[in-house]
Structure 1
């Protein structure tokens, strides 16, 4: 399988863990600050993710979530976008934050981009799956539609593990009847120049590709303009 690695150029799992921890330390409470609804009655899309969605290493407002906000505005689709992503976050962190986010923002759509840091830190797959299931169910209980974003882990984790890890996203999507983005980094995973010097986090130039991977799955869930 060509996509066993979710990032190119990684020498070993230890390097992944080290950079994941750096991203976690670099995160600050302000990382979640954009997740505040000030747009009145406009329906809200909440992105619950980690450094791949939190603009780690990028100029402000250049990540794929910011590009999503711009595309909605350009196409006159009347949604607000709240980026509740935090670098270094795990599914446990996302699960803990979900009740407050749902109560405060009352989103119409939740995009869940979490799980990679679980694998990097050795979290059991059963725990990751249970956390993601709870996050999705919390969103559904709040009457929000859900887009689950799939990921891969480094090839050196072993083929069996990488397949099981990626497979849990598809299994959850089928079981909970939610939409699935198979792989956020599809199309750039083997392009070294699309990643920052750590060879894990996509560059600013790569962000439109990430949005283009999410958009075809998200777009059918959006309320038609003028309604």
Structure 2
């Protein structure tokens, strides 16, 4: 049986996940942890009781959220039938389908809300992103620019031009917080980049580190 690993305790909510969790389970645990930045979401987590399955719309990845008394555990097994199933699009990382069990509409409504945590402004996420990723081998300095306002923030120093990432405030926040995988946002046209393929690969690795706690 997998050993639980603590993700942290905040706002009266204790989060754990399986120690040998696959990437999708790790990411669901990360998304739930992002909710603890907000006091209203902490209240939702504290009141959540039962199990919610989270599945993907294009493959067999699946996570099981088990909640009771402010303790939330995310695993990959099916220890008990879930009260509801939420289906996520792997392209957008957003809810695409909801399948409540009979009489469990309230549970799935809470689960759906928790899959879209409120994020700080992207400018306030840059320090935490850089702290988590600055030791990634080969990571270049980054120049992040919000396309509407033109606001630009540089992370890191070094010779030569930084790797540029441009996007809306929402998409920059989702990338920096680990809500969306960097290449997915780039290929969808939600983030625009300027730099080398080697830099793109390294920034993609930094994105994985934030999303999956690796």
TM-score interval, smaller chain: under 0.3
Q: Which has the higher helix share?
A: 1
* TM-score (norm. length: structure 2): 0.28
Task: Give the greater-gyration-radius structure (CA).
Answer: 2
Structure of greater relative contact order (alpha carbons < 8 Å, 6+ residues apart): 1
